[in-house]
């Protein structure tokens, strides 16, 4: 087990070496991977010449990249040094319910000063991320987000592996926080940040080896924003979506990536040293720069012409003919928000199947959205009746997207589907992981104001 000081120093060094083949190395010894992770308040610099009173993991942003290996045990000893309870959810990982990090549903809240050890063996390889599941608007909004990479059992050969964490901040000019949520925006698309960052930097430049094979891991860890990622004509290939390898990789044109979603791209860097490749957020016909890659001299003498195809994760095959059909409708509830006894308003703007999430406690769990039978296939219709995008995330399972009324679908595996306005989509999965699993919109304000529930797999 690394000491806290060793972990901070090692990850801080690794994240600065952007010209090396990887931005992070797995910690630990032998077949196991061990980490110490600490949540605490720390001042960081986002805007030039200012300090922001962020909430961080291991006193840094971006947070340490946790690197594990498919099929190998992973241990994260987590200590809460915040002044309020918290947990950690490992977004996209199919792990036991006791490790899922949802307070009251899967574990008690981790109180200030307490330590909780998360232990699990990831069955899937890919790009994932981690974040609290308590007081989420504030805890995520102030910086408690990080990337978790599970390397393939047989790692594909890339010359460079780079993490690209996307996150907005809501900041005053002096670096202090603006209000993280505004009700009239929460009732619409969500409260957007005013400072866009990539790995905590504004329009950074990432160095890549000239002529090298690059794996770029995009992770949208924002509270609200949907990106439409584009490289504007540069040849890049989509090799994984939301932690799952694409069986048949395809060229990137542009790809909408909602909150909580990930996208792995593979490409051959330009052979000329000093060449720049720009990554954009495409809005209509316009392209807005997010950051740049820049080629540097490479020590490798290999000449690459292709991108490795990733192995597909071991997802259970669905039995559509025997599947039970379910339907979830996501709606806007208007401003019919209940008033608390003290006169304050508990905003509830959104519903699933006409029911808003009202929260839970140790002695008060709402009824599940559905009760599922372990080992059975479910065919689920998801309907978004609202004029806003909703990235719908299911804990503990990977599902297959089959159909959509808004786009042509080649079936693919994911844990989060971005439903466009008035879109109806069909998904299927085998309920093969027992437990009570959250099912919610990952626009954090939508989740906190009604668009959340859980399914019970027994």
Report phi then psi at 452, rounded to 5: -155, 150
pLDDT value for 348: 79
Q: Which fold has domain 4-152?
A: Immunoglobulin-like (2.60.40)
pLDDT value for 338: 59
**Could you read off the pLDDT of 32-64 as tens digits, one per residue?**
689 999 999 999 999 999 999 999 999 999 999
Q: Which fold has domain 161-296?
A: Immunoglobulin-like (2.60.40)
pLDDT value for 302: 74
401 neighbors 411 (Cβ within 8 angstroms): yes
Assigned token pair, 43: 């001042």
pLDDT value for 359: 87
321-334 in b/e burial notation, b at 16+ Cβ within 10 A? eebeebebebbbbe
Contacts of 190 (CB under 8 A, 6+ apart): 223, 224, 443, 444, 445, 446
pTM for this entry:
0.91
Q: What angle do CA 377, 133, 202 make, to 5 degrees?
A: 110
- Which residues in the chain show pLDDT less than 50? 1-31
Closest listed residue to residue 243, CA positions, set 88, 392, 399: 399
| Rounded distance between C-alpha atoms, residue 148 and residue 268, angstroms | 24
CATH classification for the domain delimited by 320-457, as one of 3.30.930.10, 2.60.40.420, 3.40.30.10, 2.40.50.140 = 2.60.40.420
Preceding peptide of 62 cis, ω within 30° = yes
Closest listed residue to residue 360, CA positions, set 418, 436, 303: 436
Average confidence score pLDDT of the chain: 91
pLDDT value for 361: 86
Closest listed residue to residue 76, CA positions, set 26, 123, 138: 26
DSSP H/E element including 372: strand 370-372
69 neighbors 76 (Cβ within 8 angstroms): no
412 neighbors 246 (Cβ within 8 angstroms): yes
pLDDT value for 301: 73
**Could you read off the pLDDT of 191-238 as tens digits, one per residue?**
999 999 999 999 999 999 999 999 999 999 999 999 999 999 899 999
Domain ranges of the chain: 4-152, 161-296, 320-457
Three-class DSSP category at 185: helix
231 neighbors 278 (Cβ within 8 angstroms): yes
Three-class DSSP category at 81: coil
Using CA atoms in the order 330, 334, 338, 339, what is the torsion angle rounded to 10 degrees?
140
């Amino acid at each position: 087990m690394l000491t806290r000081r060793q972990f901070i120093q090692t990850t801080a060094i690794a994240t600065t070496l952007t010209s090396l083949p990887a931005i992070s190395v797995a910690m630990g010894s032998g077949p196991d991977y061990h980490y110490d992770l600490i949540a605490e308040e720390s001042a960081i610099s986002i805007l030039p010449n200012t300090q922001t009173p962020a909430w961080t993991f291991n006193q840094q942003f971006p947070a340490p990249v946790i690197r594990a290996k498919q099929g190998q045990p992973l241990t994260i000893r987590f200590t809460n040094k915040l002044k309020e309870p918290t947990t950690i959810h490992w977004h996209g990982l199919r792990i036991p319910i006791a490790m899922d990090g949802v307070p009251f549903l899967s574990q008690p809240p981790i109180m200030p000063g307490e330590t909780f050890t998360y232990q699990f063996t990831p069955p899937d390889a890919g790009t994932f991320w981690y974040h609290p599941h308590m007081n989420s608007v504030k805890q995520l909004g102030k910086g408690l987000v990080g990337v978790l990479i599970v390397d393939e059992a047989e790692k594909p050969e890339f010359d460079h592996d780079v993490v690209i964490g996307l996150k907005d901040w809501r900041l005053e000019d002096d670096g202090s926080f603006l209000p993280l949520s505004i009700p009239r925006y929460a009732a619409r698309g969500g409260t957007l940040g005013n400072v866009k960052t990539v790995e905590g930097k504004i329009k950074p430049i990432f160095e890549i080896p000239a002529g090298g094979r690059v794996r770029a891991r995009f992770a949208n860890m924002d509270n609200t924003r949907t990106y439409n990622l584009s490289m504007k004509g540069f040849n890049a290939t989509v090799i994984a979506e939301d932690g799952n390898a694409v069986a048949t990789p395809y060229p990137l044109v542009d790809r909408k990536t909602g909150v909580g979603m990930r996208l792995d791209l593979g490409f051959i860097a330009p052979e000329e040293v000093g060449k720049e490749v720009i990554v954009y957020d495409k809005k209509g016909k316009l392209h807005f720069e997010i950051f740049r890659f820049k080629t540097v001299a490479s020590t490798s003498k290999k000449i690459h012409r292709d991108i490795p195809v990733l192995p597909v994760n071991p997802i259970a095959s669905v039995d559509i003919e025997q599947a039970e059909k379910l339907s979830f409708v996501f709606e806007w509830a208007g401003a019919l928000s209940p008033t608390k006894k003290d006169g304050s308003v508990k905003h509830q703007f959104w519903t699933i199947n006409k029911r808003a999430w009202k929260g839970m406690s140790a002695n008060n769990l709402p009824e599940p959205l559905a009760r599922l039978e372990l080992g059975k296939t479910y065919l689920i219709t998801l309907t978004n009746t609202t004029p806003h995008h909703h990235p719908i995330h299911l804990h503990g399972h990977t599902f297959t997207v089959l159909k959509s009324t808004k786009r042509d679908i080649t079936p693919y595996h994911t844990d989060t589907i971005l439903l466009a306005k008035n879109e109806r989509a069909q998904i299927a999965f085998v309920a093969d992981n027992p437990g009570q699993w959250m099912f919610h919109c990952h626009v954090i304000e939508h989740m906190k104001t009604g668009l959340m529930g859980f399914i019970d797999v027994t």
